[in-house]
Amino acid sequence: MIPILQKELNSFFSSPIGYVVIAVYLLLNGLFLWVFNGEFNILHAGFADLNSYFFIAPWIFIFLIPAITMRSFSDEFNTGTIEILVTKPISIWQLILGKFLGSFILVVLAVIPTLIYIYSIYKLGNPVGNITMGTTIGSFLGLLFLAGAYTSIGIFASTISKNQIVSFLLAVFISFFMYFGFEALSSYNLFGSLDYFVQNIGMKEHFNSISKGVIDTRDLIYFMSLTFIFLFLTKIRIQDEN
The CA distance from 22 to 27, in Å, is 8
CA angle at residue 15 from 235 to 72, to 5 degrees?
10
Which pLDDT score is estimated for 143? Answer: 95
Which pLDDT score is estimated for 131? Answer: 79
| % of the chain residues with pLDDT over 90 | 56
Average of pLDDT values for 109-138? 86
Categorize the per-residue pLDDT at 206 as very low, low, confident or very high, splitting at 50, 70 and 90.
Answer: very high
The CA distance from 73 to 188, in Å, is 37
The CA distance from 182 to 123, in Å, is 38
DSSP state of 242: -
Average of pLDDT values for 74-80? 84
Residue 162 has a CB neighbour count (10 Å cut-off) of 16
Contacts of 133 (CB under 8 A, 6+ apart): none
Q: Output the pTM of the full model.
A: 0.94
Instruction: Kindly tell me if the per-residue pLDDT of 83 is higher than 80.
Output: no
The CA distance from 209 to 216, in Å, is 8
Instruction: Kindly tell me if the per-residue pLDDT of 242 is higher than 70.
Output: no
Instruction: Kindly tell me if the per-residue pLDDT of 104 is higher than 80.
Output: yes
Instruction: Kindly tell me if the per-residue pLDDT of 24 is higher than 90.
Output: yes
Per DSSP, the chain holds a count of helices (H) and strands (E) of 13, 0
The CA distance from 167 to 177, in Å, is 15
The CA distance from 44 to 92, in Å, is 50
Nearest to 58, CA basis, from 135, 102, 122, 111 = 111
Q: What is the C-alpha end-to-end distance of the chain, expressed in Å?
A: 19
CA 200 to chain centre: 18
Please provide residue 129's backbone torsions phi and psi, each rounded to the nearest 5 degrees.
95, 5
